[in-house]
């Protein structure tokens, strides 16, 4: 009897864990803007279906270097099963540096920082295995340098 009860409890625990919503995801977001083509991406659910996303991007392209950190808040809405769409708001902070040996730069060294207000619209699919794929658009409005960039991304994340 104890053995049967233990097996039933183990099966119930396994089923509960399998069907529970994963609260975190980590992976890569390919695409981006401002030359930051790939970012490390982390998502954490903060209540109900809503979540925070933190993306960190680095670039070292010979004469151009930079880093960018992005924080977004997503409102996630289910379409069907593992298919969701989301809308987000947030911001980015980063710095860039252009070396004086850039062709056409006439020996001028240029660098700066940027602060952006961002919006985001995307669609994602959460598989039954711990995998999430997403596709999004992210317009970025420059608050410091009065710039506008339109970013996009394909996300591949491990959910846990």
Please state which of the four CATH numbers 3.90.1660.10, 3.40.710.10, 3.90.1150.110, 2.40.160.20 is assigned to the domain occupying 23-159. 2.40.160.20
Q: What are phi and psi of 18, to 5 degrees?
A: -60, -40
pLDDT, tens digit, for every residue of 114-141? Answer: 999 999 999 999 999 999 999 999 999 9
DSSP 61: E
| pLDDT confidence of residue 21 | 65
Residue 12 has pLDDT above 60, yes or no: no
Mean pLDDT of 44-53: 95
Q: Which two tokens stand for residue 12?
A: 């119930």
**Strand ranges (E), 62-129:** 64-80, 83-98, 110-126
| pLDDT confidence of residue 22 | 85
> What's the pTM value of the predicted model, to 2 decimals?
0.81
pLDDT, tens digit, for every residue of 72-118? Answer: 999 999 999 999 999 999 999 999 888 877 677 676 778 899 999 99
Domain ranges of the chain: 23-159
């Amino acid at each position: 009897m104890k053995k049967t009860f233990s097996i039933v409890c183990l099966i119930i625990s396994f089923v509960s864990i399998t069907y529970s919503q994963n609260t975190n995801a980590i992976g890569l977001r390919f695409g981006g803007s401002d030359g930051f083509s790939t970012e490390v991406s982390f998502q954490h659910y903060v209540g109900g279906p809503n979540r925070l996303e933190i993306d960190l991007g680095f670039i070292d392209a010979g004469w151009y270097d930079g880093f960018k950190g992005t924080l977004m808040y997503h409102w996630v809405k289910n379409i069907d099963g593992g298919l969701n769409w989301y809308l987000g708001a947030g911001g980015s902070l980063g710095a860039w540096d252009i070396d004086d040996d850039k062709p056409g730069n006439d020996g001028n060294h240029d660098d700066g920082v940027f602060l952006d207000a961002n919006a985001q619209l995307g669609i994602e699919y959460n598989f039954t295995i711990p995998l999430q794929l997403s596709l999004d658009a992210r317009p970025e409005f420059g608050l410091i340098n009065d710039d506008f960039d339109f970013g996009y991304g394909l996300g591949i994340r491990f959910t846990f």
